[in-house]
Structure formats: C-alpha cells, structure tokens
Amino acid sequence: MYPVEWDAMKEKCFAGKQSPCGIDRGLQINCKDDYQCIQGRCRNEKEMGKGEVNSFCNDDLDCKTGLICKNSEIATVIKVKRCYSPN
C-alpha cells in the first residue's frame, strides 16, 4: 500500500517514489517532488535503470540493462521483486 496525500491548495492527490500513478475510474494520482508518472509509477528519470542484481524493483525499468525484475528467489513472508539475470 502506498500513501497518497491531498493537496488542498492544488486540489490534487499526490504520491511519492514508486507509487502507482495516473487515472483510474476518474481518480487521478499525481507524482510529487522530482517524480514523473512513467508507465504507471512515480519515478525519477535519473534513478531508472540502476538496479543491480538482487536489488528491489517493481518492473524491468528499475533494473540495469540486461537484468529483469521478477519475484524474489529468496523465501520471504512478503512477496518482493528483485533484479536478476535472465539466465
């Protein structure tokens, strides 16, 4: 779950880093601070594609070129995704 904040001055909802964003059923979630809505997530373009092997990710855009984002191979109670080599 990601926190969403209401800005009464701008009359808009804002979310932070890696939060889902965009419009769904009439509700618009904007990205705050230095983030942009890129493929449905609040991302900083400067941070994209920097994920090393085993770093946390939401999708392939978070990982370095050549790595893929998939469910962790390490057994955990909470499902997380990490960057892995496709091989």
In terms of pLDDT, which residue wins out, 78 or 41? 41
Contact 70, 51 (CB under 8 A): no
pTM: 0.68
The rounded distance, in Å, linking the Cα atoms of 13 and 36 is 14
CA atoms lying within 13 Å on the CB side of residue 61? 14
Contact 19, 42 (CB under 8 A): yes
pLDDT at 78 exceeding the cut of 70: no
pLDDT of residue 67: 94
Contact 44, 18 (CB under 8 A): no
* Helix residue ranges, H only, the chain: none
In tens, the pLDDT along 22-72 reads 998 888 999 998 899 998 999 988 888 999 998 888 889 989 999 999 887
